[in-house]
Amino acid sequence: MVSIRDLQKVFPVPGGQTVALKDANLSIQKGEFISLIGPSGCGKTTLLRLMADLEQPTGGELLIAGRTADEARRERQYGYVFQAPALMEWRTVLKNVLLPLEVMNVPGDRVGRAREMLKLVGLEKFERNYPWQLSGGMQQRVSIARALAFDPPLLFMDEPFGALDEITREHLNLELLRLWRETGKTVIFVTHSIPEAVFLSTRVVVMTARPGRIEGIVDIDLPHPRSDDTREDPRFFTHATEIRELLKKGHA
């Protein structure tokens, strides 16, 4: 689904340059749940933005479903969930989810499609509400429904639950895994949280700062479906330690 070879991104800055990403190599199969974890400024968002064709690489190769990032974007191969829900306050929940379908003039039953997505995220009863009438967690679920409106095979998520309290976050992690299982999407998820990365992922990509690069990739050997019991599994702690060690190594 994603193939990255020696990918590099250098930003020009006054008086020099920032190497945001250096020699990244990564291959992601269809249906995987990949987390990108690393300290602030290590290039996680840059990597996601390169895949989403929101930035252009300065070196290396990047293919999304066998296409260039530009082709993949035009073919609507992915949905993007941002850190803040970025909903339109003057549109109802349903109209927010409808927006990308309207903008792209997608034929067919757009309202039916938007309702289906709201059902998937458990918000079918809130379609007439406005964003300001919803909690932060519910707003983020609306933005997930909006990202899925085109039914893209790939979902990019940039720290979507970072601003939420721990309990809401754990609840949404479970919801996201259910959605992932039901839809078979490939998810690429940015987080700062080791437990969140272990809980959600099939593999965790550990990144390090300056210059941003991939320090290691950890396979998460935990059974599905995951539940609250997963957090008590000894393997959960083993994987968390593995990731922490890689982060420390990168920091050193």
Ligand X SMILES: Nc1ncnc2c1ncn2[C@@H]1O[C@H](COP(=O)(O)OP(=O)(O)OP(=O)(O)O)[C@@H](O)[C@H]1O
Give the residues lining the site for ligand X (CB under 6 A).
11, 13, 18, 20, 38, 40-46, 212
Residue 151, classed as helix, strand or coil, is coil
Shortest CB 203 distance to ligand X, Å: 18
Token pair belonging to 186: 């490939």
Shortest CB 207 distance to ligand X, Å: 7
Nearer to ligand X, 38 or 195 (CB): 38
Nearer to ligand X, 11 or 237 (CB): 11
Shortest CB 45 distance to ligand X, Å: 3
Nearer to ligand X, 195 or 212 (CB): 212
Token pair belonging to 242: 């593995």
Nearer to ligand X, 43 or 131 (CB): 43
Helix axes 136-147, 166-183, angle to 10 degrees: 20
Shortest CB 62 distance to ligand X, Å: 15
Nearer to ligand X, 129 or 193 (CB): 193
How wide is the angle at C-alpha 181 spanned by C-alphas 178 and 182, nearest 5°? 85
- CA–CA separation, 56 and 242 (whole Å): 32
> Do residues 161 and 173 lie in contact, with contact meaning Cβ atoms separated by under 8 Å?
yes
Shortest CB 46 distance to ligand X, Å: 3
Name, in order, each residue with C-beta under 8 angstroms of 188's C-beta and a sequence gap of 6 or more: 2, 28, 34, 36, 48, 51, 154, 155, 156, 157
- CA–CA separation, 185 and 189 (whole Å): 12
Shortest CB 221 distance to ligand X, Å: 26
Shortest CB 13 distance to ligand X, Å: 5
Nearer to ligand X, 91 or 210 (CB): 210
- CA–CA separation, 154 and 53 (whole Å): 13
Q: Sign of dihedral through CA atoms 177, 35, 80, 52?
A: negative
Q: DSSP states of 201-233 as a string?
A: -SEEEEEETTTTEEEEEEE----SS--GGGGGS
Nearer to ligand X, 49 or 226 (CB): 49
